[in-house]
Structure 1
Amino acid sequence: MKEFICSTIERNVVLKCIRDHKRLDCRTIDETRSVNIDFRSHPGCVSVRLGQTCVIAQASCRITKPKESRASEGNIRIHIDMSKIPLMNLENWKHQEFVQELNGILEQNIRHSNCVDLESLCINSGELVWAIKIDITVLNNCGNILDCANIATLCSLYHFRLPEVTVHGSDIRVYSSMERRARPLRILHFPINVLFAFFVDGRYTLIDPSSDEERLMDGFLSISMNQHKEICGIHMGGKLGLKKEQVDLCKKLAFKKILELTDRIRQVVTDYYKNNEPTIHTQPSIVRIEDGEDSSGESESEDSVLIKTDMSPSPMETNVSLLLMPSLDRLSLSEDNPTITATVVDKSTSKLENDDEQDNE
């Protein structure tokens, strides 16, 4: 990211170090900063530091209606929030463009590379699927937010656990981890991003640029690759043309870093779940989808039921509201669907239904 203001002395010092194959933070031109990964108590919450650049990622889930063209696939969304850090030399519209550019690159690297098995997020084909959302908050910017956010997103997805769900007719039951252990997402591969910066008309190349180097770079090359040497995305920025030999050299250097980070992510998540017990939630709730009329004469109880009277072919974001499911901490709640009404079921009624089901068996 280039800022408008940069002193001549600072520019000369940085460029002189680059010409001498040195860097201000005592790194070599092909050396990245240290990565620190810290998991929080909730599944899917992770803090990642790349040098002094700090990012927090939080994964959450909700039950939504799938796309008509992909009736048996869930979906993943990524949102970046950079309001916590100051960008003094950027105008508001430039700030928004920068955030949109980062969000678009992450969407391409994570969602469009199919690193998560979307069919494993299906609850009932054509009706209900899991939707995963990754909220990324940038707490400190010391350069290369893209790589730090990419690592945080992958760690959050690999660390996240989905509640177990069973479907019996129109009843969809979401189990707590006290009844059934939550299952991890099915991660097929790890598309890790590596950023390169170019200086002096592309004659000098650096990996993992700092904030001072980002202000003075002529262009950048972002390569997303997995451990199988599969290119998941390539993005270029700046008014700079690169030769094929330069791109091939960057790909070779990026692959070495990707192998190290892939093993690191797998190891830290495995160590976390070996040393920490899963979070215990309270009793689950039941989601019931019916076509009948709303029953309002039922007494109150602890078991909450949602009765959906109509499911019209609405857009992709139409979801089944889970406002009566506060026991699941990582389940996002929404009340924006007017077609869903919430009622409660009497304990005696639910007990009689269970007895009838046992007799039928």
Structure 2
Amino acid sequence: MAEQVERLLSREVTRERLIAVEQGTFDTPLWQALEEMGITLALAPESAAGAGLSWQDAEPTLRAAGSWAAPVPLGESLLATWALGSVGLEIPEGPIAVAEGVFRLDHNQHISGTDALVPWIQHCQHLVVVAEQSGQRFVCLLNRDEVSLETVETFARIPSSRVVASGATPVAIAAADNIIGELGLLPALATLRTVQIAGVLDRLLALCVEYGNTREQFGRPIGKFQAIQHLIADMAAQTAAAQVAGLYACRQIDKGNGEYGAAIAKARGGLAATRGAEAAHQIFGAMGFTDEHILHYYSRRLWQWRDEAGSEHWWAERLGRRVLAQSGDELWRGISG
């Protein structure tokens, strides 16, 4: 499946299509191609007409989508269909947005709450949220018309909004305590962002290696200079670290320990995004900052995904508090397990 996505995106994703999306045009042909291939239901269980892949199995597909900065909400829709299918709810057609915050569910089955940033919601008819009532959590499917949207400008320039629900009536709702913890869909979204970060870093690494071999200065390729070699070596290390972190988090979701995996992955992936983008722009110099160059379409995604679903600092602090609350024996089990 990952190879199919890689071939499709390498053929279809161009600078012109990235520009069009950032200007507010949804890439319907690309989305339809992904739907026809069955990619959008990869994480949905077979009972929901999906492929039933585990997060670990789907990781290469999610990473490929990140690698090409796919101008459609593929990752978000995969997460949404996983959440809906896991609790037995019917999955609607079309792209689906995901809220990272936990909303409130009253006794009349109405939903209220706010999410400061929901990417792609303008192009999605449906939104998946987690709502809480008396300590119990529910996966809820909302129609976009049930919420109010306030446009938010982001680094990535992906159409995004602040979402406010005030007594919204869900299209469907189901209890989800078996798969959703106190943070709602935040750990799953943090895992997704880490895997996507790993994909973008791999793309930047390839661009930098190619540029280092072809750009000449003082009569030889700049890749022959030790300073450039050091930057590329550090990029390779950050890329590998982010990929391992994302895969680890995927495995932890499969094991039912998603929050712990997400904390480790996002903390490490966020650091990799910062250092990787910095190195890439140092290698390309002034050219990489021009609007005409492809580099910033990837580096801006890195900066955006680094901050979404909890920054590395937020997750590191949460992980640290958890470690401090445990005994020494528990700490070792967490590290070695």
Shared fold per TM-score greater than 0.5? no
Q: Shorter-chain TM-score category?
A: under 0.3
TM-score, normalised via structure 2 length = 0.24
Larger RCO (alpha carbons 8 Å, 6+ apart): 1
The structure where helix makes up a greater share of residues is 2
Task: Give 1 or 2: higher strand fraction.
Answer: 1
Larger Rg: 1
